[in-house]
Amino acid sequence: MIRHVLMYKLKNVQNIVDIAEICRLVGASPWLVPREDSVLELPSNINVVHSLERAVECVGRDLTYLVLETYGDRFLSELPDEVFLGETCLVVGAEDFGFPESEVSKLPRAYVAKIPVGVQGASYNVVSSLVMALEEARLRALKMMRVS
């Protein structure tokens, strides 16, 4: 189940606010690693940490991290059930450069899910990608409940 959402260096304040509201609605904790040069006025429910390493310390090392990126090797629907069984932190990257591949190794138990796009180099809005992932997680949880 998605318990946390980690926003990595998002630049658009409205995207951050929208994700924080979605987190409130689904019961997930929103986390933000801001850009170094950003001075943002943010809702009080966003947990701000200033490095990816610190985010992992705070969110936890014993859960699964699910990164949404265009360079992923599998779609959400192709990931193993274990990704959705325990506590999961959904990770979304910056609107302009995403979540760097070089940072994935800093996340314990990390999976990278491919965001489906029709045109090479194009991508869905980060909020849209988050909502798709949350819905996939909900559907997978329902499917697993029916099976057990």
Residues 6+ apart with CB under 8 A from 115: 68, 69, 70, 72, 123, 124, 129, 132
- Sheet containing 2-8, strands listed edge to edge, beginning at the edge strand earlier in sequence: 47-48, 29-33, 2-8, 88-93, 64-69, 110-114, 74-75
Is the distance from CB of 125 to CB of 22 less than 8 angstroms? Answer: no
Which run of H or E residues covers position 102? helix 101-104
Each of the 148 residues of the chain gets a pLDDT tens digit; together they read 899 999 999 999 899 999 999 999 999 999 999 998 776 788 888 999 999 999 999 999 999 999 999 888 898 889 998 888 889 999 999 988 889 999 999 999 999 998 766 555 555 688 988 998 898 888 888 887 777 6
The token duo for 96 is: 């302009």
Which residue bears the tokens 């190794």? 105
3-state helix/strand/coil string of 24-93: HHHCCEEEEECCCCCCCCCCCCCEECCCHHHHHHHHCCCCEEEEEECCCCEEHHHCCCHHHHCCEEEEEE
Alpha-carbon distance of 134 to 122, in angstroms, equals 21
Which residue bears the tokens 């699910």? 66
Alpha-carbon distance of 92 to 7, in angstroms, equals 5
* 57 CA to centre of own chain: 16
pLDDT of residue 124: 65
pTM score > 0.85 for this model?
A: yes
pLDDT tens-digit map of 38-70: 767 888 889 999 999 999 999 999 999 999 998
pLDDT of residue 23: 96
Q: Which domains are present in the chain?
A: 2-147 (3.40.1280.10)
